[in-house]
A and B are shown apart, each in its own frame.
Chain A
Amino acid sequence: MQSTIELDNLTIRFGRQTVLKGLKGGFAGRAIGLLGPNGAGKTTLLHTLLGFYEPAAGSARVFGFDIQRDIKQIRHLIGYMPENDSFISDMTGIRFVRLMAELSGLPPSLALERAHETLFYVGLGEARYRKLGTYSLGMKQMAKLAQAIVHGPKLLFLDEPTNGLDPPARQRMISLIKDIRSTGETALILSSHLLRDVEECCEEVMILKEGEIVVYCNLEEERKANRKFLELEIIGDSHPFVEMAERLGCECAVHGLSRIKMVLPEQVSIRDLYCLAAKRDIQIRRLNYKRDSLQDIFLKAMEGNRGSLQA
């Protein structure tokens, strides 16, 4: 499978400050979340891939195109939604999105058609003849999304797409991102401070800290890996139940009289636990898989436990 992005010792310096420190790896995910505290280098990485900054060392490729040699080809394939307000206030929504489509190479008539479609798609159909300067913050975010997708890019860079949105607008933005992802025609990289946004929209996550990749993991695989970690609540004497479970190879920890945390070995299934409980006349009242949430992964990374790169 061809990597969407390949980083080869990518280093970016602004003056004496090194912002990205020798990033390496191939990233093939269809939806990659970019996480990290302020100043970690998330936006700088996106801007470098767009060709805004020249690497001090190393290189990067997007769909196999080098960011220094083939930047025009790369920009044909990318849609970019910037973090800050970026628009032309005295333009109407439709003219603005059409201009951006034409600059991406669409012929004028098709650009106009796509601009109408896209503005309706993001929910600005009724406001498309209004000047951008009169849009609310939420509408401006949607207009930014519209200009990023109007030319049907293969890769979409979303920099803090839910910034400043109220809950319904945020939900609308998230559902649009999920919808774009679900078409399978567009890969996306979402940079956000909000773990929930990343968790909802992305399959993979890259965590940056001080210009370095500290974690790159597939969220689904991460969840699967923790599938055998259980939390149980029982009614009855826990002691013989725990003893029998340990004989099967489970690692158990008892909290109070009725709560047990348990790590199951590969060969033991949930059904075996129910059989044990039935033998000892114990009721299992609650059984949860305990999974590492994205928050756990993020906090671990921030504590300085550098994770391995699991591309």
Chain B
Amino acid sequence: MAVYKHNYQAYSGPLTSSALRFLILSRYAYQRIFGSRIFLALFLICFAPPLGGAVFIYLQHNAKALQILQIPIDELIPIDAAFFQTLLYIQCSLGFLLATLVGPGLISPDLTNNALPLYLSRPLTRRDYVLGKISALLILLSAITWIPLSLLFFFQAKMAGWAWLWDHFRLEAAVFMGSWLWMLVISLLALALSAWVRWKPIAGALIFGVFIVGGGFGALVNAILFTNWGSLVNIGEMMDIAWRYLFRGQGPTGSLPVWGAFMGLLGFCGFCLLLLSKKLKAYEVVRS
């Protein structure tokens, strides 16, 4: 029967598993995100550094190629913690730009158009909603951070021999944990600001603002009070301390203790979750 001749009928067909239903939100978010050419260009640029890294690793292990290109082997930088940490810095910086571009558009349109009651009247909890939205960012950021860097790590292990893999396995763990820490912080920040500031450009600008103003304010507190604890509001510095610890086993001197940086980052994530839980309700209740 033609579709326009159908009458109303109840549905009694199969249902999808409710455990992974939150991923529907991520899928629909991607359909919108990948429609943007600016995003697509930036996303492709994000793969250039790992690709460069792969070429570099290949050259390191190919004397003939180095000879043809007339590059002295002792002038090449070693493939070590600094190499992977630098690549992680680059990827996370690009990830920051991606999150700034994508994050504000994830929740704010739903709040602006009062769509939350529609989502939350379905078999979807507020937790599922946040999971669905944050998964969109986490999957994207994973695709440009720990996944390509892990592939590089295993590529290097294959070229250098499996003994190298066991000797440097800490690097892979550092890449994985460092990436996830960064992804969680930046994704939660983007979502929280998207929920609180309903205007997308302002939310995007505020993500930058949190880093710049937080950094400046932290430095000011440190300078005035002769302390290092002002850095607790400097997300960039806390991430730097965490990464240094993960890659090299120790944090920088004259700064926050490593545990302080980790606690600060976890506290920040908790604060973002609190902001989200305050804002993501089907209806605002005015209490008298």
Contacts and interface: CB of A to CB of B under 8 A. Distances in A.
Nearest to A150: B11
Contact of A110 (B13, B285, B286): B13
Interface in A58-115: 72-73, 75-76, 78, 80, 82, 84-90, 95, 99-100, 102-107, 110, 113-114
A50 B117 CA distance: 9
B115 interface: yes
Given A88-B115, A99-B24, A152-B11, A75 B288 contact: no
A90 B114 contact: no
A102 B15 CA distance: 9
Contacts of A75: 121-124
Interface stretch (B1-9, B169-177, B236-244): B1-9
A14 B288 contact: yes
A183 interface: yes
B122 A100 contact: yes
A151 interface: yes
Contacts of B113: 85-89
Contacts of B28: 95, 99
Nearest to A147: B118
Contact of B16 (A86, A95, A105): A105
A17 B3 contact: no
B123 A105 contact: yes
Contact of B6 (A14, A50, A120): A120
B73 to A, nearest CB: 54
A80 B109 contact: no
B145 to A, nearest CB: 29
B109 A15 contact: no
A121 B7 contact: yes
Nearest to B1: A117
A139 B7 CA distance: 19
A217 B113 CA distance: 37
A106 B110 contact: no
B286 to A, nearest CB: 7
A90 B109 contact: yes
Contacts of B114: 82, 84-86
Interface residues of A, number: 52
Nearest to B125: A72
B108 to A, nearest CB: 11
B58 interface: no
B248 interface: no
A186 B11 CA distance: 11
A149 interface: yes
B146 to A, nearest CB: 29
B158 interface: no
A16 B24 contact: no
Contact of A103 (B21, B110, B286, B287): B21
B26 to A, nearest CB: 12
A147 B6 CA distance: 16
B30 to A, nearest CB: 13
Given A50-B121, A86-B113, A117-B3, A152 B288 contact: no
Contacts of B115: 86-88
B11 A114 contact: yes
Contacts of A179: 7-8
Given A72-B123, A152-B10, A47 B4 contact: no
A154 interface: yes
A47 B8 contact: no
Contacts of A85: 113-114
B4 A125 contact: yes
What are the nearest 7 A-B pairs in CB distance?
A: A152-B11, A15-B287, A105-B15, A152-B10, A80-B121, A185-B10, A52-B282
19 contacts: A14-B287, A16-B287, A53-B285, A75-B121, A75-B122, A88-B113, A88-B115, A90-B32, A90-B109, A99-B24, A103-B124, A105-B16, A121-B6, A125-B4, A149-B8, A153-B10, A179-B8, A185-B10, A186-B8
Given A14-B287, A78-B121, A152-B9, 4 more contacts: A16-B288, A82-B114, A106-B15, A149-B8
